[in-house]
Each structure stands twice: as structure tokens, then as C-alpha cells.
Amino acid sequence: MKRKRIGILGGISYKSAIRYYELILRKYYERTKDYYYPEIVIFSLNFQKFTDLEIKNREKYINYIIEGITALENAGAEFVIMAANSPHAVFGEVEKRSTVPLLSIVAVTAEEAYQHTMKTLLLLGIKFTMQSSFYQNVCRKYGINVVVPTLPG
């Protein structure tokens, strides 16, 4: 059985890239009880450059994400996971320009919540994620409300 080579776009949050890598392999083993793990390629973006562009220049931000996805594709990745929430703010634009399929962690979250008949989700994350509306926009399609804590003061 041929398994797809997975691409993880990391560097956005090194901890989440590590977590995704570990989780994919652990879940694979739990499901199959064998060691024919999927091949995984990780490409790490420069975190500071990523966050600077996120705030200052949307087009360069998207281009930088696409550079990382292209590097993963060139390494044989057949689909890509962006291992952080914040790049999902531009997921639609990135997906249109990507030549490999992307897995949206936001859509997967909404689908899972819907399957469990959840009506409201609490979103915790970095300030950028909590002030953006990409989770709310996707979850609304499933009839799910997303709330964020209010900032003090």
C-alpha cells in the first residue's frame, strides 16, 4: 500500500510542528500496529520573518507561505499541513495558489465539532488568531458559534 508523503509547514510555531509530527506517527501506530510510518517532510519558515510579514505585508506573507509549500512539494510532499493557526487567516488565498492539496486545521476542527453536535467553541490562541475571524467564518458554515475571551481593560 502506497502512503502519501506528508508535508508539514513549520517554523510558524516550532512546538506545533513537533506536536504534529509526533501525533501523526503515534496515531498511525495506534491505528495499524506496524512501523510502516508515512514519510513526513518538514519545512521550517523563519518565524520572525513570518510574523513581521503577517502584520506588515499580506501579499509577501502569502508568497512566503507559498515558498514553504513549494519547498515541501519539491521534496515530494503530496499534501501539506500548516502547523499553526495564524496562516489559516489566508488559507483560501494560499490554497488557490498551491499546487498540492492543503489540509485546513480550521475546517477539520469545525467538522469534528459538528460531528459531536457542538454549538459553541472557545477559541484560545495568540492575539492575532483571537482577533481574526477565520475560525468564526468557517465554523459558521456548520452552525457553530466561536467565542474568544475579552481582553482586560
Residue span of the structural domain in which 125 resides: 118-147
Answer whether residue 17 is part of any domain.
Answer: yes
In terms of Cα–Cα distance, which of 3, 7, 17 is closest to 75? 7
CATH of the domain at 51: 3.40.50.1860
Report helix angle 58-74 to 47-56, nearest 10: 140
Output the nine-digit C-alpha cell for 48: 520572525
pLDDT for res 153 = 65
Distance CA 112, CA 130 (A): 20
CB atoms within 10 A of CB 134: 19
Q: Do both 75 and 142 map to the same domain?
A: no
Answer whether residue 153 is part of any domain.
Answer: no
Amino acid type, 59: E
CB atoms within 10 A of CB 123: 16
- Grid look-up 502584520 returns 55
Output the nine-digit C-alpha cell for 118: 457542538
Is 126 in a helix, a strand, or coil? coil
Query: Would you give per-residue pLDDT tens digits along the chain (153 residues)?
Result: 677 899 999 988 889 999 999 999 999 999 999 999 999 999 999 999 999 998 899 999 999 999 999 999 999 999 999 999 999 999 999 999 999 999 999 999 999 999 999 999 999 988 889 899 999 999 999 999 999 998 776
Amino acid type, 10: G
User: How deeply is 88 buried, as exposed, middle or buried, from its count of CB atoms within 10 A (0-12, 13-18, 19+)?
Assistant: buried
Q: Do both 26 and 76 map to the same domain?
A: yes
Answer whether residue 141 is part of any domain.
Answer: yes
Answer whether residue 45 is part of any domain.
Answer: yes
Q: Do both 35 and 81 map to the same domain?
A: yes
All residues at 6 or more sequence positions from 20 whose CB lies less than 8 Å from its CB, including other chains: 8, 10, 81, 83
Q: Do both 136 and 67 map to the same domain?
A: no
